[in-house]
């Protein structure tokens, strides 16, 4: 994996984490996500 691809993947991961972190606990629950699962969900969402 090259450095540009890794950097872009990291940026998408951080953006996804930030977006999910802004949701309320109720909104996350509606999506079936616990607040502690955000890094895992973001990692899975940003990997092709």
Q: What is the pTM of this model?
A: 0.85
pLDDT at position 48 over 80: no
pLDDT band at 47, cuts 50/70/90? confident
Cβ–Cβ under 8 Å, residues 35 and 28: yes
Residue-wise pLDDT tens digits, 8-36: 999 999 999 999 999 999 999 999 999 99
Q: Is 12 exposed, middle or buried (0-12, 13-18, 19+ CB in 10 A)?
A: middle
């Amino acid at each position: 994996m090259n450095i540009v691809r890794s950097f872009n993947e990291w940026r998408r991961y951080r953006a996804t984490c930030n977006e999910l972190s802004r949701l309320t606990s109720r909104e996350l629950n509606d999506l079936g996500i616990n607040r502690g699962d955000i890094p895992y969900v973001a990692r899975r969402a940003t990997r092709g």
